[in-house]
Amino acid sequence: MAESVEKKAHGIMISMPYQGHITPFVSLALKLASKGMTITFVHLESVHHKLSKASHKSDLFSDARESGLDIRYATIADGFPLDYDRDLRPEQYWTTLLQIFSPYVDDFVGKLIRSDPHSLHFLVADTVYVWPAAIARKYNLINVSFYTSPALVFSLLYHLDLLKERGHFSRKDDAAVIDYVPGVGSMKIRDLMTSLSKTSDVTGNSLFKAFEEVKKADFILHNTVEELESEALSALNRYQPNYAVGPINLSGTSSVAVGRSLHAEVDITKWLGSKPAGSVLYVSFGSVVQTSKVVIGEIAHGLRLSEVNFIWVARAHLTASGGDANVLPGGFVEEVGERGLIVPWCDQISVLSDPAVGGFLTHCGWNSVVESMWCGVPMICFPVTYDQPTVRKLVVSDWEIGIDLGDAATVDREGVAGKVRVLMSGDPSERMRREAAKVKQMVRAAVEDDESSSLNNFNRFLVDLRNKLCTTTSIHKN
């Protein structure tokens, strides 16, 4: 019976339309398909347009199918015109998407199931969506929630009721201590995600609703490593089945060619090859985060003053005010000369893996942090929004593999220059590099060893999923 279920299991996967979510979702799809499952991977039409433009492929999973994997590919509308610039004001776009997207998903899922009545369907959706539980219930689907940020953040949002009871629901007193959330050690209010200060807007309310809805999921997957977040994961398992399967985007299936980047990537291997080992600071604030032109100016001047070699990913819409062509201070590029390289986008994991790179100035997006840990590169943390302050806490306080730059209100050029020098050549750098090497070994062991935790957790999830599919199908027939 289990064998027939495995052949007929058909997962419907829908990720958030952002780089840090797309990358692990694609890897999860490949991993599920490699176990004999059929996968229908759904991108928004706007995401497909970007990915296909960057990869020069109209069918992003064609190579995966040629390798023998049964991955079907579909696109779905988001309610906006295709030429609408979703990156210009990402929060405004996301707020509207939250209100209008679910009917498009409902329609797509219904048609797919009706066209394929003999498969055993299950849904794999991003945790931060509010609709998965309702869609799964309507179509009698197993509901798998995939969370692409650390388990610490998940735990805090999962226990919002406790934060409310203790008066810590909004970030009003940054020095106050939180020490009562199951599986979470002591932390300060300043380490909470910024969404907790947005209790009245659509984005904040949708996040709170999503974490009420996730309590109805059958299974929850986490793109994290059990050894790094064992206490949080253990506590969560008291309530629902949780599985740490990360870093999933850096496990074996990552070699299959699938378009994952929303932007065309610049090859910078030649420039890196001209620099001494460990001498280059990589600077990137991800694919979505926006800050002010003043902040960008202070960081630029700090890099200039540091006299350190650097690569800076200065993508479009890095500032909310527009004018991206002039976002860097006048004369900056000429002044730093060969010491600095400015690019619109690049293959981040390739850069971090290069021997020339010795540090990473990051916004603390989880995908970026995971890739940095994978490569053993210590970090300078400059969180801007979302869950990034909480990720900073993990990097700086818990794992001691990075230093804190502060935030937009306090950043200044002298501080930037000083922190860059400390990371790249100061005495604390040696200690951080030793810790980063330990974490690198731990993260890689989670997916590379035969008895690795993430591999075991993934296999355990597959067994549980197949058993649940059998049970649900039997109940539905009766």
The CATH number that applies at residue 81 is: 3.40.50.2000
Among the listed residues 147, 51, 44, 143, the one whose alpha carbon sits nearest the alpha carbon of residue 96: 44
Is 254 found in the same domain as 393? no
Beta strand 402-404 with 120-126 is unpaired
The boundaries of the domain holding residue 136 are: 2-261+450-477
Is 330 found in the same domain as 235? no
Lowest-confidence segment of 63-67, 350-354, 358-362, 412-416 by average pLDDT: 63-67
Alpha carbon distances (Å) from 403 to 17, 314, 358, 359: 30, 22, 14, 11
Is 349 found in the same domain as 469? no
Mean pLDDT of 385-406: 96
Is 151 found in the same domain as 48? yes
For residues 107 and 12, is the Cβ–Cβ distance under 8 A? no
Model pLDDT for residues 57-69, shown as the tens digit of each residue: 888 898 899 999 9
Mention every residue, 6+ apart, whose C-beta is less than 8 A from residue 244.
151, 222, 224, 225, 226, 229, 233, 446, 453, 454, 457
Q: How many residues does the chain have?
A: 478
Is 19 found in the same domain as 119? yes
For residues 81 and 310, is the Cβ–Cβ distance under 8 A? no
**Which residue do the tokens 């219930």 mark?**
137
In a domain, 444, yes or no: no
In a domain, 88, yes or no: yes
Mean pLDDT across the chain: 90
For helices 102-115 and 90-100, angle between their N-to-C axes, nearest 10 degrees: 50
In a domain, 441, yes or no: no
In a domain, 303, yes or no: yes
Whether the predicted pLDDT of 375 surpasses 80: yes
Which helix or strand (DSSP H or E) is residue 126 part of?
A: strand 120-126
Which helix or strand (DSSP H or E) is residue 25 part of?
A: helix 19-33
In a domain, 442, yes or no: no
Is 289 found in the same domain as 228? no
What single letter denotes the amino acid at residue 372?
S
Mention every residue, 6+ apart, whose C-beta is less than 8 A from residue 334.
none
CA angle at residue 450 from 448 to 455, to 5 degrees? 70
Is 199 found in the same domain as 63? yes
In a domain, 433, yes or no: no
Whether the predicted pLDDT of 336 surpasses 80: yes
Is 238 found in the same domain as 276? no
Whether the predicted pLDDT of 390 surpasses 50: yes
Measured CA to CA, the distance from residue 38 to residue 45 in angstroms comes to: 21
Is 292 found in the same domain as 174? no
What single letter denotes the amino acid at residue 198?
K
Measured CA to CA, the distance from residue 297 to residue 329 in angstroms comes to: 6
Is 275 found in the same domain as 193? no
Whether the predicted pLDDT of 2 surpasses 70: no
Map 28-46 to HEC letters.
HHHHHHCCCCEEEEEEEHH
In a domain, 410, yes or no: yes
Which helix or strand (DSSP H or E) is residue 462 part of?
A: helix 453-477
Residue 182: cis peptide before it, omega within 30 degrees of 0? no
Model pLDDT for residues 96-105, shown as the tens digit of each residue: 888 789 999 9
For residues 267 and 39, is the Cβ–Cβ distance under 8 A? no
For residues 157 and 211, is the Cβ–Cβ distance under 8 A? yes
Whether the predicted pLDDT of 476 surpasses 50: no
Model pLDDT for residues 179-206, shown as the tens digit of each residue: 999 999 999 988 998 777 655 566 677 8
Which helix or strand (DSSP H or E) is residue 103 part of?
A: helix 102-115
For residues 56 and 174, is the Cβ–Cβ distance under 8 A? no
Is 394 found in the same domain as 327? yes
Is 239 found in the same domain as 196? yes
Q: How many domains does the chain have?
A: 2
Alpha carbon distances (Å) from 243 to 131, 229, 300, 453, 461: 21, 11, 41, 10, 7
Residues forming a β-bridge with 222: 147, 244
Whether the predicted pLDDT of 445 surpasses 70: yes
With a pLDDT cut of 70, the percent of the chain lying above it is 93
Mention every residue, 6+ apart, whose C-beta is less than 8 A from residue 444.
374
Lowest-confidence segment of 174-188, 235-249, 369-383 by average pLDDT: 174-188
Among the listed residues 163, 162, 122, the one whose alpha carbon sits nearest the alpha carbon of residue 146: 122
In a domain, 431, yes or no: no
